[in-house]
Structure 1
Amino acid sequence: MYDLQELEAFVSVVRTGSLTASTRDLGLPKSTLSRRIRQLEENVGQPLLLRQSRKIVPNDAGRVFYRYCNDILELVVQGREALDELKAEVTGKLELRCHESFVRGWFSGVVESFMADHDDLRVAIHTQRNLPEAVEDGVCIWLGETGETALRQEVLGVLKQGIFGSPAYFRQHGKPAAPGELAHHPWVDLLGRADTGVILHHSRQGNFPLSLPDRRFTVD
C-alpha cells in the first residue's frame, strides 16, 4: 500500500515541474518533499522522475504511475467529502490569522456570520502585518505579495486601491493634477504598506513610484 502523502508529493511535482513550487503548493520543507519522493520511488522499485535543465519531468514509468495516482487521490477526496456530509456540526477551535487591514471591513462580518451558524465553534483571530512562517490547524488571510513562503496559497480575490480626499480639503488646498503633486499633501495610510513604497497607476502617465513624506500620526 502506498503512502498517500508520498502520492500527493509526486503528483504535485509532476504538475509544477519544480520542487520549489511544490513546497509552496503543499506547505512542506523541501527536505520533506524530497524524502517522500525518494521513499515512493523505493516502494515502486524504480525511478519516476527526470531532471531536465531547470524542470523536473516524469519518465515513462512516472507518466503511467501519475494517472493511477490521480485516480487514487480523487477517490480519497470523494471519500472525505462523503464523510464530511455525514457530520452535521462544525465543532472545535478555528485559528485565523489575517492582515490587520481586513479586520476593519468584511472579514469581521464573515466570521460573525459563520459563528452564528455553528454554536459549538470557538474562533481565535490573530491580526498581523508580517506573514507567519507557519500556521497550525488554521487559515491565514493575507493582503499583497507573500514572497517566499512554504504556506499553500490560493487567490481569493483582488482588492483595488485608490487615493481619496474630502471635497472640503480640495477646496482649501487644491486638487492634485498629477501623481507627483501628492508628495506635498498630508495623508493617512489605511493599509499600513507605505513603508515598502507606493506605486500609483495614472491613466495617462502610467506607473508612478511615489515617495511619501514621514507620517506625523500612525494608528495600527
Structure 2
Amino acid sequence: MSLFVEVARAKSFRRAAEALGMPSSTLSRRIQALERAIGLRLLHRTTRRIELTEAGQLYFERSRGIVEEARLAHEQLDELVSQPRGVLRVSLPVDFAIVFLTPRLPEFCHRYPGIAFEFDLTPRRVDLVAEPFDVAIRMGALTDSHLVGHKIAHVPRCLYASPSYLDAHGEPGTPDELSQHECLLFPNETHWTLLRDGAKCQVAVDGRFHLNNVGMMQRLAADGLGIALLAPPSVSDTAGRGTQRLRQVLPDWQATPIEVHALTETRLLPAKVQRFIEYLKEHLAQ
C-alpha cells in the first residue's frame, strides 16, 4: 500500500523508485502483485507517465491516510525506543534486588527518567502469563521451559569468614578441612563444590545456620558465626561494604558460579523491558 501511494504521488515508477531507493522493476512487480490481490487495475501505464484508474483514485484517497497514520505510529514507536516510558513491573529475589540491583538503580533512573517501577521481591515463581509482570529475574538453573531466558550474568562465589572466627577456629588449608568448620548454608545444602584451575572438589559441610537470605548470611559471617560462600566485593558495592569485615578463605578456590537470567513471556519486548535487560547485562557482566 505504501509503495502504491509513492507511485501515485510521483506518477512515475522511476521517480518513485529513486525516492524509495529500490529498482523500478521491483517496484513495478510489487504494484502488479497488489493489483492481482485486489482484482482491479489501479494504474494506466504509458511510455511517458502513469495515470490512476477510477479504482486507483479511490484506493489512493483511502490508502494515503492509512499510510500516513502508520508512518506517524512508527515515529512514535521510535520515540519510545529512544526514550522508553511506562511502568516496569519486575519480580526478583530479595538478595538480587538488595545486593546487585539497588546500587545500580540510580544510574538507570537517570538514563531513563520516563520509566517508573513496581518491584515484587519474593522467592515465589510468579506466572508471567497470568500475572502482570514484564520480566522476572531468576538465579540458578532455569526450569520454566515455556519462557524466554536472557542470560545477564554469572555470579562467582568465594569463601569468606571474619578474622575473629578464623582466630578462634583456625583457617582451613584445604577444602576437605571445611567439614570441620561451622558453615553458613542454604536450606537443604549439605555439600559445596569448589573449583580451582579446572579441578573440582566436593566437600561435605554442616553448620548451625541454614537460611535463604544472603544479606543475613553475610552479616552472620561478619559477626564470626561461620564461613560463608558470598559474591566477591568486586561484584557488588553492597557486598563490598559487607565484606570489609571479612577475610577470604582458600582464595585459590571458588564455588560454581550462579547463572542469572531475565525471563520474559516473549522475545518481542517493549522498549522499557529491553533497556532494563540490556542495562543489567552491561553492568553485571563485569
- After TM superposition, the score normalised by the length of structure 2 is 0.40
List aligned pairs for 1:29-108, cutoff 5 A.
84-87=77-80, 88-108=82-102
Identical counterparts, % of pairs: 14
Answer with 1 or 2: which has the greater Rg: 2
Alpha carbons 2:182, 2:206 under 8 Å: kept: no
Query: Which residue in the other structure is 1:206 paired with?
Result: 200
**Could you tell which deviates more after superposition, 132-141 or 162-171?**
132-141
What is the alpha-carbon distance in structure 2 between the residues aligned to residue 105 and residue 172 of structure 1? 29
Alpha carbons 1:95, 1:123 under 8 Å: kept: yes
Alpha carbons 2:88, 2:115 under 8 Å: kept: yes
Whichever structure has more strand as a proportion of its residues is 2
Q: How far did 1:125 drift?
A: 1.0
Alpha carbons 2:94, 2:121 under 8 Å: kept: yes
The question of 1:144 aligning with 2:102 is answered: no
Unaligned runs of 5+ in 1: 1-79
The amino acid that maps onto 1:109 is P
Alpha carbons 1:133, 1:149 under 8 Å: kept: no
Unaligned runs of 5+ in 2: 1-72, 217-286
Match of 2:172 among 172, 176, 190: 176
Q: How far did 1:124 drift?
A: 0.9
The question of 1:157 aligning with 2:153 is answered: yes
Q: How far did 1:97 drift?
A: 1.4
Match of 2:188 among 195, 200, 205: 195
The question of 1:113 aligning with 2:107 is answered: yes
Partner deviation per Cα, 1:46-73 (whole Å, 9 max, x = no partner): xxxxxxxxxxxxxxxxxxxxxxxxxxxx
Inter-CA distance 218–102: structure 2 relative to 1 (3 Å threshold): closer
**Could you tell which deviates more after superposition, 139-148 or 202-211?**
202-211
Inter-CA distance 82–164: structure 2 relative to 1 (3 Å threshold): farther
List aligned pairs for 1:125-140, cutoff 5 A.
125-134=119-128, 136-140=132-136
- 1:119 is paired with a residue of what secondary structure? coil
Alpha carbons 1:200, 1:209 under 8 Å: kept: yes
Alpha carbons 1:103, 1:127 under 8 Å: kept: yes
What is the alpha-carbon distance in structure 2 between the residues aligned to residue 158 and residue 147 of structure 1? 17
- Provide the aligned length of Structure 1 versus Structure 2: 138
What is the alpha-carbon distance in structure 2 between the residues aligned to residue 195 and residue 138 of structure 1? 31
What is the alpha-carbon distance in structure 2 between the residues aligned to residue 120 and residue 108 of structure 1? 18
Inter-CA distance 117–217: structure 2 relative to 1 (3 Å threshold): closer
Query: Which residue in the other structure is 1:185 paired with?
Result: 181
Q: How far did 1:161 drift?
A: 0.7
Higher relative contact order (CA 8 A, sep 6+): 2
